Amino acid sequence: MFSEDVLARLSQVNRKRPPVEDIRGDSAPCPSPALDLRFHPAAEEDVSQLPPGEEMSTAWGTHWVRRQPLSRLWPQSDRWLSRHLRPRESPAKHMPTRSRDLRLLLAHLPDQVVYLDLETCGFAGSMVFLVGLIHWHCDDLQLTQIMARNYAEEKSMLQALWSIVARHPILVTFNGKSFDWPMVHDRSTVHRLGRDLRSVTRKTPEAYPEASMSAAELLAHDDPRPEPLHCDLLHLARRRWKRKLPNCKLQTLERYICRRRRTNDIPGHEIPAAYHDFVRSGDAWLMRGVLHHNALDLVTLLQLSLLLLPSPAEQ
């Protein structure tokens, strides 16, 4: 027989986690807001090839780009945006100083914000081979995935990234201050793409450095790199949910806050090997999984940013 002390411990182990609605509150517009994500290939597609996209050129060479309207991937996106965003001409009420990043998001969404997620060949200093972005394009939010199909295309891919960043004053990432954005700068330095001004650029919540439009066409060695104001959602998520969740990893937040569980997703640690295999063999079957993984991360990033904003009644 177990002692009362052991039985008490077992009861704690078996206790169910609180339901997602209790964690998330009333932020979501419906019980299952993002379960219908559409990333399935058409029946006639050859899955050994990359999905439909196009080859693009810069002064530094070529790269591959895939563009998709966000509403095609996340049909509820318009509903979420209309619920959480106020008209631009209607200023938000005073928010605490610690919510500077939320004030920036609220003031600049959707057309002046770019969401960024990278896929790389490993740890810091390794090659970046895929840049995923959600940004405003042709009066709508768009998912753009820019990929180096081989190791020589990284420089052209990074030029394409800077071209888009130059037009958006606010950058949103998840753990990007520690990983994604330093990686972009480090790899750009390797390729002699512009000068890093992060240490000398002074930022304030009310103003942002004017983007260098020369970067939109050609980022030469001596050109200053665009430096948008950076909102890292990891820190905001920890502040909001760290005492209610087992951790604040992106997929944990996706499961408990966005109420979405991934299936058939490629594990992050397998992504570098999948890319090297694609470069070596040309078979894109595994790379399709990487593109799917990257797109899911970006949709979750956008959805979390909306859930972190104050409710309309608080604005």
C-alpha dihedral over 204, 207, 212, 217, to 10 degrees?
110
User: Which carries the bigger pLDDT value, residue 91 or residue 103?
Assistant: 103
C-alpha dihedral over 210, 211, 214, 215, to 10 degrees?
160
Q: Is residue 34 included in any domain, yes or no?
A: no
**In 3-state terms, what secondary structure has residue 30?**
coil
User: Which carries the bigger pLDDT value, residue 137 or residue 124?
Assistant: 137
Contacts with 234 (C-beta within 8 Å, 6 or more apart), sequence order: 174, 175, 248
- Maximum mean pLDDT: which of 95-99, 142-146, 191-195: 142-146
Mean pLDDT for all residues in the chain: 81
Q: Is the full-model pTM beyond 0.85?
A: no
Contacts with 162 (C-beta within 8 Å, 6 or more apart), sequence order: 188, 193, 194, 215, 216, 219, 225, 226
The fraction of the chain above a pLDDT of 90, given in percent, is 54
- Phi, psi (5° rounding) for residue 270? -90, -10
Q: Is residue 30 included in any domain, yes or no?
A: no
So what's the pLDDT on residue 77? Answer: 83
Query: Is the pLDDT assigned to residue 207 strictly greater than 70?
Result: no
Q: Is residue 250 included in any domain, yes or no?
A: yes
> Residue 3: how many CA atoms within 13 Å on its side-chain side?
3
Query: Is the pLDDT assigned to residue 25 strictly greater than 50?
Result: no
The b-or-e profile of 63-98 (16+ CB within 10 A means b, else e) is: bbebebebbebbebbeebbeebbeeeeeeeeeeeee
Mean pLDDT of 168-187: 95
Contact 274, 290 (CB under 8 A): yes
Closest CA to 121 of 148, 145, 144: 148
Lay out the sheet containing 170-173: strands in order across.
Answer: 54-58, 61-69, 141-147, 128-136, 113-120, 170-173, 229-232
Mean pLDDT of 115-141: 93
DSSP E strand stretches across the chain = 54-58, 61-69, 113-120, 128-136, 141-147, 170-173, 229-232
Q: Is residue 38 included in any domain, yes or no?
A: no
Q: Is residue 10 included in any domain, yes or no?
A: no
Query: Is the pLDDT assigned to residue 178 strictly greater than 70?
Result: yes
Contact 176, 116 (CB under 8 A): yes
Residue 193: exposed, middle, or buried by beta-carbon count in 10 A (0-12, 13-18, 19+)? buried
Q: Is residue 222 included in any domain, yes or no?
A: yes
Mean pLDDT of 206-225: 66
Going by their DSSP bridges, the two strands 54-58 and 61-69 should be labelled as antiparallel
Structural domain including 277 reads 53-196+204-314
So what's the pLDDT on residue 124? Answer: 78
So what's the pLDDT on residue 222? Answer: 86
User: Which carries the bigger pLDDT value, residue 178 or residue 43?
Assistant: 178
So what's the pLDDT on residue 46? Answer: 85
Q: Is residue 28 included in any domain, yes or no?
A: no
So what's the pLDDT on residue 42? Answer: 67
The CATH number assigned to the domain holding 219 equals 3.30.420.10
So what's the pLDDT on residue 115? Answer: 97
* Calpha distance 81→28 (Å, rounded): 11
Span 74-83, pLDDT tens digits: 888 888 887 7
Q: Is residue 37 included in any domain, yes or no?
A: no
Structural domain total, the chain: 1
Q: Out of 58-72, 216-230, 234-248, which region has the weakest mean confidence (pLDDT)?
A: 216-230
What pairs with residue 145 in β-bridges?
A: 66, 132
So what's the pLDDT on residue 160? Answer: 97
Q: Give the pLDDT band (50/70/90) at residue 200.
A: low
